[in-house]
Copies of this chain bind each other. A is one copy, B any other.
Amino acid sequence: MHKTILYYPFQFTTMISQTEENYLKAIYKINEREGKSVNTNAISAAMNTTAASVTDMIKRLADKDFINYEKYRGVTLTTEGERVATALVRKHRMWEVFLCDKLGYSWDECHDLAEQLEHIQSADLIDRLDSFLGKPKFDPHGDPIPDREGNYAKRQQVLLGEMTVGDKGVMVGVQEHSTAFLQHLDRIGLVLAAEVDVLEIFEFDKSVKIKLNKTTDLLISSKVSENVFVKIG
């Protein structure tokens, strides 16, 4: 028998591997974005595996009652699957706060490390980390941190690309978390808490001219504006 126990020193209601956790997280994120039953190809794209591997895995996850699965019809998370996924999100974001606030990592550096740390098995550890960090409500990218029960305010912010001329707001988060994107935002100065005034929208290429922090005029490409969240007000 494969000795999975080595990686899981504690007792769980349902045994679950790191890979299974990652699949559940991927399904959760895709569903959050698209809002419907998640199909095989979307998962294989997110997980960087083949469709065949995904089919194998979703059968296993369905057997363990983490997802509802109907052949050729895609999958949805069960209550238990959603619990696992939000617990992972909680852990990931909590560790990101630790890495940035305490160890001085920048927002583009902390993601990959948090991908590893989120698999440490101990809810208690995360609760203690929570207290140690001063019960943060958001991670360094502006993403809300779920509480122990998995509840968290869904973002009410709008994408920069959805704002109209005259709207004013504050940069509060990103939709895309790639290192390349975050480093680009850093370089152009569009970082967390930056003030954004929409001056002009160019229909031709959907680019947006904004005033940044009441000082600099900046032309934002659609690729950027569609991945940056702004809180209007």
Q: Residues of A at under 8 Å CB distance from B?
A: 3, 6-7, 9-10, 18-19, 22, 49, 99, 102-105, 112-113, 115-117, 120-122, 125, 128-129, 132
Which single member of B6, B115, B121, B132 contacts A9 (CB below 8 Å)? B115
Contacts of A129 in B (CB 8 A): 103
CB distance from A48 to the nearest CB of B (A): 8
Task: Report whether A9 and B116 are in contact in the complex, using a CB–CB cutoff of 8 Å.
Answer: yes
How far does the alpha carbon of A50 sit from the alpha carbon of B114 in the complex, in Å? Answer: 34
Q: How many of these chains are in the complex?
A: 2
Contacts of A120 in B (CB 8 A): 113, 116-117
Say whether chain A's binding surface is mostly helix, strand, loop, or mixed. Answer: helix
Which single member of B10, B19, B113, B128 contacts A125 (CB below 8 Å)? B113
Q: Which residue of B lies closest to A9 (CB)?
A: B112
Q: Which residue of B lies closest to A10 (CB)?
A: B112
CB distance from A6 to the nearest CB of B (A): 6
How far does the alpha carbon of A128 sit from the alpha carbon of B105 in the complex, in Å? Answer: 9
CB distance from A127 to the nearest CB of B (A): 10
Q: Which residue of B lies closest to A112 (CB)?
A: B9
Task: Report whether A122 and B132 are in contact in the complex, using a CB–CB cutoff of 8 Å.
Answer: no
25 residue pairs of the A-B complex, CB under 8 angstroms, read A3-B49, A6-B18, A6-B19, A6-B22, A7-B18, A7-B116, A9-B112, A9-B115, A9-B116, A10-B112, A99-B125, A102-B132, A103-B125, A103-B128, A103-B129, A103-B132, A104-B128, A105-B128, A113-B120, A113-B122, A113-B125, A116-B120, A116-B121, A116-B122, A117-B120
